[in-house]
């Protein structure tokens, strides 16, 4: 299992690709699969851990990310002959060397950072095995072996029947994720908003978020770790997810629903695949519509919201999906 190395696997806080790779490894090991995780040296796993990079480059700013990334990739591919298959969670870079090894490689495409990276995927179409994490994120230029939704370790989340009254924004602080829009929704609905997430765009945070922070109605609590994440998601009245891009999946959306918390999201990307309109949340077009539907949240069943997530977005469902993919590859 080739994990990214921006952060530890699993991440201490932020690190969605690392989190998915970790969940999958742990689920496969629990099913008796022999898995070697290639990640940072401080990573934690029930499988076999191997590494050449000691610490994630986002956690050690003295390092050069590209140097570490290519060390990491080359280290795995030099040992490709030792494995039945390689599962790549590290974007397009390992694909550049896919024809130099005999071991089949499956690549989970966690999204396209730009259309400019598509040529490298296209060039490997005839030998690659691509998995999309939602139907909406598929490119018509690529061939896919399956769609497998990201799976969540349900043991890390607690169903909460009685929430508090706050709205929650739980995403990285970036224009794509709609932090400013979440604030406007809270303001227009006269609701308290708690915000949590990695500050990925400092200028955006300073100009679009900080002016509204008052520690009363609009509160920023930082980049939450797992225990705090469970608490915030579970006790939220609703999760606000006003995205400004076509999001490939949206882990926090599935995590919120696994706690029973409904989601109000802008209707883009994978959101219609995650949210059942009028049952587990609402799909809206803008800030005004989001503010208007907040009064309807109390009519939704948190139990049904939880059951929907349990049926579709658990670690076990993800493991089953990838075991089917591996079986097809190794025929």
pLDDT digits (tens, 9 = 90+) for 82-129: 999 999 999 999 999 999 999 999 999 999 989 999 999 999 999 999
Give the domains, in start order, of the chain with CATH numbers. 16-151+314-329 (3.40.50.2000), 154-312 (3.40.50.2000)
Alpha carbon distance 315, 321 (integer Å): 10
Q: What is the pLDDT of residue 331?
A: 83
Q: What is the pLDDT of residue 18?
A: 97
pTM, to two decimals:
0.95
pLDDT digits (tens, 9 = 90+) for 54-65: 999 999 999 999
pLDDT bracket for residue 274 (50, 70, 90): very high
């Amino acid at each position: 299992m080739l994990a990214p190395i921006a952060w530890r696997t699993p991440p201490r806080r932020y690190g969605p690709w690392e989190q998915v790779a970790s969940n999958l490894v742990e689920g496969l090991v629990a099913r008796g699969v022999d898995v070697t995780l290639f990640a940072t040296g401080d990573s934690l796993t029930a499988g076999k851990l191997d590494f050449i990079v000691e610490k994630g480059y986002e956690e050690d700013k003295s390092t050069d990310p590209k140097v570490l990334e290519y060390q990491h990739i080359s280290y795995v591919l030099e040992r490709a002959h030792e494995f039945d298959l390689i599962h790549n969670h590290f974007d397009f870079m390992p694909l550049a060397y896919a024809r130099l090894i005999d071991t089949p490689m499956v690549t989970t495409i966690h999204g396209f950072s730009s259309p400019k990276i598509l040529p490298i995927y296209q060039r490997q179409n005839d030998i690659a095995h691509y998995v999309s994490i939602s139907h909406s994120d598929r490119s018509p230029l690529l061939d896919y072996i399956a769609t497998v939704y990201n799976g969540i370790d349900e043991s890390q989340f607690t169903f909460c029947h009685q929430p508090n009254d706050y709205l929650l924004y739980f995403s990285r602080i970036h224009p794509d994720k709609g932090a400013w829009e979440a604030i406007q929704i809270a303001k227009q609905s006269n609701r308290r908003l708690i915000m949590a997430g990695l500050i990925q765009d400092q200028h955006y945070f300073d100009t679009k978020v900080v002016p509204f922070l008052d520690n009363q109605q609009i509160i920023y609590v930082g980049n939450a770790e797992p225990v705090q994440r469970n608490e915030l998601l579970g006790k939220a009245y609703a999760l606000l997810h006003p995205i400004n891009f076509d999001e490939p999946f949206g882990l926090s959306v599935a995590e919120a629903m696994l706690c029973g918390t409904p989601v109000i999201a802008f209707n883009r990307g994978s959101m219609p695949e995650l949210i059942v309109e009028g049952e587990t949340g609402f799909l809206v077009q803008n800030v005004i519509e989001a503010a208007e539907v907040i009064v309807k949240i109390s009519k939704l069943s948190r139990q049904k919201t939880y059951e929907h997530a349990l049926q579709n977005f658990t670690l076990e469902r993800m493991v089953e999906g990838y075991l089917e993919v591996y079986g097809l590859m190794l025929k």
